[in-house]
Amino acid sequence: MSGHHDHSHGHGDHGHDLPFWRKYIFSVDHKVIGCQYTFTALLFLFFGFTLMMIMRWQLAYPGQPIPFIGKYLSDDIAADGVLVGDGYNAFGAMHGTIMVFLAIVPLGVGGFGNYILPLQIGAPDMAFPKLNMASYWVYFCGGVTMIASFFIKGGAAASGWTSYPPLSVFASSGQTMWLWGMVLLITSSLLGSVNFIVTTVQMRVKGLSFFRLPFFVWAQLVTSFLLLLAFPPLEAAGVLQLMDRLAGTSFFMPSGLVYATEPQNQLAGGGSPLLWQHLFWFLAHPEVYVLILPAMGIVSEIIATNTRKPLWGYKSLVYSAIFLGFMSFIVWAHHMFMTGMGTTLSTFFQATTMIISVPSVIILTCLILSLYGASIRFNVPMLFALAFLPMFAIGGLTGLPLGLTASDIHLHDTYYVIGHFHYVVAPGTIFAIFAGIYYWFPKVTGRKMSEFLGKLHFWPSFLFINAVFMPMFFQGMAGLLRRQYDQTEQLHGAVAHGLTKMSSYGAWLLAIAQLPFIINFFYSMFAGKKVGANPWESTTLEWAAPSPPPHGNFDKTPVVYCGPYEYSVPGKSKDYCPQHVAQEA
């Protein structure tokens, strides 16, 4: 049997003799796939942001033609350059879908996870390289499907990223494209998550026990379990909605519907609109942690490196992440307090919601206590990572009044909700992603990004992103509802219009603030300062590989001797002890 342990089960040769398309397009190397994910997702991030900037024009100047691009948009979206109601709703639905499923998750998991995780555990690649390639291309097809839906008759899905039936079942065929796109994206995530879990559990190098794993790996592991177990119910829900739309079933259609004064007698009826909401939020609440956990992982790595000090309470971090993952499966109905829920059920979901805030508080506490007694280097990745902390805290705290039913009565479906989850995801996760890009850029390219341009990117971004989202809390307090094509149509929306404009200006300025990043990204790729394997003097295993790592990653398979964050160990000549370096007794 041992005779078969030769290179035959390797997955082919990836040396320089491979043709371009095998090396860079249909590659099975986790690093190339990681970069593919990152590039594609950054493009989607930009696209989703553009949709939002157009929407913000309509909000700030309702009914006025969109400058510059209005005349190029199709009549389904903008008539005479003015965004129409369906166009606005389609942009809103697609902004949410693209940002969550095509930008942030693929960046945090597909991009960073794919590139960094195998390096951090000392593995030569992912456990199933071909499956890895498949998950990227399935994701890619899902993205193409979503984008293509803008160009079909009736335009893209316009029933919100939540796609509540019956609205979504009555909607135009863009919704069908959305569902097919989601089925592809879910499939991609499932393939990816299987790969991540197997890789993490089975392929850690010698000496790298679970409690020596960098927190980033833990975060990815918990995230993968969430994807693995929470996504299938949405896939089931998607299949059911497809059946309702294409096969005339009534899973989500109750009896006695009248649509546009036409009784829907031809439908069987007997379905339940709330069934969709349960299945959807059973995924979509864990999805929140799929968005935030990789960000926490990235931030932890950067904070440990740049405080030159072990993370405070590493084990609490790990247990909190696991607990968070577990709890996220039993809080979903707090999105549904206004659906006529009685006191028993709402008490349960309020209680679990309050409980789930505790591990988040612990994680944040651990990260901030890590700063005490540190020697903080304020480089660009650290600035983004530090900015993550207070903004994520704001996002978390503002979840409180939404998680309690009584205060949710007033705040449900208002801009307060928008402000809350954007603080978690935009100034939260996206800032962490920027931190990660600046931090690992030298590993991927062998060159460092410009610190000056980085700071020129950070400070305006920090200012303007708060200008975008801070007003939303006040708008929400005033009762301004989300998903309003023209907010001034309602009395309490009209009086809050000043804040709406402020948000819009913030968004456009935020876009300008991204220019230094784009310049920096491409400039540094070709002309950045060349650096060695470990420019940040960090301890984790990815820095033991050359920059950029070759196919197969490590020149020699490393062995791990200590925990992940051994910085400033007393009595050592250097202020960091890499995991792969044996320490003298």
Partner 1 sequence: MNLLLASTQYGSWTPPLYSDHGGSIDKLVDVIHVFMFVIFIPWAIFFGYCLLNFRARPGHKASYLPIKAKVSKYAEVAVAVFEAFLLLGMSMPVWAEYKNNPPASDQRLDIRVVSQQFQWNFHYAGPDGKFGPTNIKLVSASNPIGLVEDDAAAADDIVRVNECHLPVDKPIYMRLTSMDVIHSFDFPTMRVKQDAIPGMEIPIWFRVDKSATTDAIRPQMKMTVPMAKAEWYKIRHHVAAVDHKVKDEVVLAKGADLGVDLKKGNELLDQLRKKGLAELTLEPRNPLEIVCAQLCGNSHFKMKAQVMTHTEDEFKKWVAESSKKQKLETDF
Partner 2 sequence: MSTTVIPHDLEPHPLTGMYNGKFGIWLFLASEVMLFGALFSTYVLLRVGAPPGQWPAHGSEILNVPLATLNTAVLIGSSVTMVMSWAALKMKKLGAARVWLTVTFLCAGAFLVVKYFEYTDKFSHYQVWLNEPIKVGEHEVTTIKGHLTADCPKLEVSEKNGAYSVTEHVMITPDAEPGGHAHGEAVKIEASKVKRISNFGPRHSPYLATYFTMTGLHGLHIVGGMVVILYFILTGGSIWKRSQEKYTNRIECTGLYWHFVDLVWIFLFPVLYLL
User: Considering only residues 152-181, where is the footprint of partner 2 by CB under 8 A?
Assistant: 169-170
Residues 517 and 49 sit within 8 Å (Cβ to Cβ): no
Q: How many residues does the chain have?
A: 585
Taking alpha carbons only, the member of 441, 439, 442, 449 closest to residue 524 is 449
Q: Does 8 bind partner 2 (CB under 8 A)?
A: yes
Q: Does 447 bind partner 2 (CB under 8 A)?
A: no
- Six token digits for residue 154: 């009736």
Q: 370 by DSSP, 3-state: which?
A: coil
Q: Interface residues for partner 1 in 96-125 (CB under 8 A)?
A: none
Q: Does 473 bind partner 2 (CB under 8 A)?
A: no
Q: Which CB atom, from 420 or from 551, has the smaller least distance to partner 2? A: 551
Q: Interface residues for partner 1 in 434-473 (CB under 8 A)?
A: 471
In the bound complex, what is the minimum distance in angstroms from residue 583's beta carbon to partner 2?
25
Stretch that binds partner 2, among 52-60, 74-82, 195-203, 573-581 (CB under 8 A): 195-203
Residues 161 and 96 sit within 8 Å (Cβ to Cβ): yes
Distance CA 571, CA 169 (A): 68
Among 13, 75, 489, 575, the residue binding partner 2 under the rule CB under 8 A is 13
Sign of the CA dihedral with 37 first, then 31, 117, and 372 last: negative
Q: Does 336 bind partner 2 (CB under 8 A)?
A: no
Taking alpha carbons only, the member of 338, 285, 294, 324 closest to residue 162 is 285
Select from partner 1, partner 2, none the partner in contact with residue 567, using the beta carbon and a kind-dependent cut-off of 5 to 8 Å.
partner 1
In the bound complex, what is the minimum distance in angstroms from residue 155's beta carbon to partner 1?
11
Stretch that binds partner 2, among 234-242, 298-306, 337-345, 453-461 (CB under 8 A): 234-242
Q: 27 by DSSP, 3-state: which?
A: coil
In the bound complex, what is the minimum distance in angstroms from residue 230's beta carbon to partner 2?
8
Q: Build a one-symbol-per-residue string for 268-307: x at contacts with partner 2 by CB under 8 A, - elsewhere.
A: x-xxx--x---x--x-------------------------
Q: Interface residues for partner 1 in 396-415 (CB under 8 A)?
A: 397-398, 400-401, 404-407, 409-414
In this structure, the number of other CB atoms found within 10 A of the CB of residue 6 comes to 8
| Phi, psi (rounded to 5 degrees) for 572 | -100, 155
Among 81, 160, 207, 232, the residue binding partner 2 under the rule CB under 8 A is 232
| Phi, psi (rounded to 5 degrees) for 105 | -65, -45
Q: Which CB atom, from 43 or from 338, has the smaller least distance to partner 1? A: 338
Question: Which residue bears the tokens 């206590």?
Answer: 369
Q: Build a one-symbol-per-residue string for 494-533: x at contacts with partner 1 by CB under 8 A, - elsewhere.
A: xxxxxx--x-------------------------------
Question: Which residue bears the tokens 């005490």?
Answer: 372
Q: Interface residues for partner 1 in 55-84 (CB under 8 A)?
A: 62-64, 84
Q: Which CB atom, from 49 or from 231, has the smaller least distance to partner 2? A: 231
> How far, CA to CA in Å, does 460 sit from each of 200, 457, 509, 526, 561?
38, 6, 8, 25, 42
For 240, what's the count of Cα atoms within 13 Å in the CB-facing half-sphere? Answer: 22
Among 39, 144, 151, 202, the residue binding partner 2 under the rule CB under 8 A is 202
In this structure, the number of other CB atoms found within 10 A of the CB of residue 68 comes to 10
In the bound complex, what is the minimum distance in angstroms from residue 109's beta carbon to partner 2?
15
Select from partner 2, partner 1, none the partner in contact with residue 540, using the beta carbon and a kind-dependent cut-off of 5 to 8 Å.
none
**Considering all CA atoms of the chain, what is the largest pairwise distance in Å, rounded to the nearest integer?**
83
In the bound complex, what is the minimum distance in angstroms from residue 198's beta carbon to partner 2?
5
Q: Does 11 bind partner 2 (CB under 8 A)?
A: yes
Residues 110 and 103 sit within 8 Å (Cβ to Cβ): no
State the Cα torsion 85-91-93-97 to the nearest 10°. Answer: 180
- Would you put residue 246 in left (φ > 0), alpha (ψ -120 to 50) or beta? alpha
Stretch that binds partner 2, among 44-52, 191-199, 484-492, 515-523 (CB under 8 A): 191-199
- Six token digits for residue 578: 């890499």
What are the contacts of 455-458 at 24+ separation with CB within 8 A? 455/380, 455/383, 456/516, 457/380, 457/513, 457/514, 457/516, 457/517, 457/520, 458/380, 458/383, 458/384, 458/387, 458/434
Q: Does 339 bind partner 2 (CB under 8 A)?
A: no
Q: Does 477 bind partner 1 (CB under 8 A)?
A: yes
Select from partner 2, partner 1, none the partner in contact with residue 41, using the beta carbon and a kind-dependent cut-off of 5 to 8 Å.
none
Q: Which residue type does 101 have? A: F
Q: Build a one-symbol-per-residue string for 518-557: x at contacts with partner 2 by CB under 8 A, - elsewhere.
A: --------------------------------xxx-----
- Six token digits for residue 1: 């049997």
In the bound complex, what is the minimum distance in angstroms from residue 47's beta carbon to partner 1?
22
In this structure, the number of other CB atoms found within 10 A of the CB of residue 211 comes to 11
Taking each helix axis as running N to C, give the angle between helix 380-397 and helix 273-307, from 0 to 180 degrees, rounded to the nearest 10. 140
Q: Does 358 bind partner 1 (CB under 8 A)?
A: yes
Q: Does 266 bind partner 1 (CB under 8 A)?
A: no
Q: Build a one-symbol-per-residue string for 246-265: x at contacts with partner 2 by CB under 8 A, - elsewhere.
A: xxxxxx------------xx
Q: Interface residues for partner 1 in 193-252 (CB under 8 A)?
A: none
Q: Does 212 bind partner 2 (CB under 8 A)?
A: no
Q: Which CB atom, from 253 or from 383, has the smaller least distance to partner 2? A: 253
Q: 49 by DSSP, 3-state: which?
A: helix
Q: Which CB atom, from 251 or from 388, has the smaller least distance to partner 2? A: 251
**Contact positions vs partner 2 (CB under 8 A):** 1, 4-5, 7-15, 123-125, 127-129, 131, 169-170, 190, 193-195, 197-198, 201-203, 228-233, 235-237, 239-240, 243-251, 264-268, 270-272, 275, 279, 282, 550-552
